[in-house]
Every structure is written in structure tokens, then in C-alpha cells.
Amino acid sequence: MEQASITGGPLFRSLNRHGQAQPGRLLGIDVARVVKKLAERAGLDAAKYAGHSLRAGHATSAAISGASERSIMNQTGHRSVQMVRRYIRDGSLFRENSAGKLGL
């Protein structure tokens, strides 16, 4: 916050081409750009990733760790259990299988 001279308002903000923090909040498109850039650096197909991947990854990781659907919904902003289950369904595959019960 000191480095960017942020004394109030949003903490996460866009940067202009000179690396200066902009006054408004970080937008979804900005998050998507960062995710795509980092996916590419990791050797992944950037077209398969976006800011939404972070939300899905959070829900999946939280489910694997045993978080309740309600607590995941509180964090991600999902309004229905059905929708959050679409995110965590794949996460349960790692927890609800015989190999997982053996610690594998």
C-alpha cells in the first residue's frame, strides 16, 4: 500500500503501462489477463484459463479440504447449492475414492 501510495479505496487495482496504480478496483478482465499470462509462463494453454478458473479452483480445493458447501458459497458468492456443487463435483473425486482413503 505504501509503495503504490494507496491510502483508501480498493486495495487491488489495475496498473497503467507505466506501472502506476489506477484509482478504481481491479476488474475481472484484469484478473483474466494475469491468469492467462501466468498460465502461459507455466507452459499451459492460456486459452483454457481465465479469472473464473480461480473461483473454480478455490471451490474445488476447499471441498477437497472438507469445507462445507455453505462456507464455500459464502466465500465465492454462489447463491445456490446446485451451482456450487457444479464447481466442487470434480473435487470430491479426489476425496471419495478408495485410493484417497489409503492416502494415495
User: What residue ranges do the domains of the chain occupy?
Assistant: 1-49, 51-104
Determine the length of the chain: 104
Residue 15 DSSP SS3:
strand
β-pair partners for 21? 15
Of 97, 92, 104, 102, the residue nearest 66 (C-alpha):
92
Residue 43 is given by DSSP the state T
- Spatial contact of 72 and 62, defined as CB atoms under 8 Å apart: yes
Q: What is the pTM of this model?
A: 0.60
**Per-residue pLDDT tens over the stretch 4-62:** 778 888 888 888 889 888 888 888 888 898 899 999 999 999 999 888 888 888 998 89
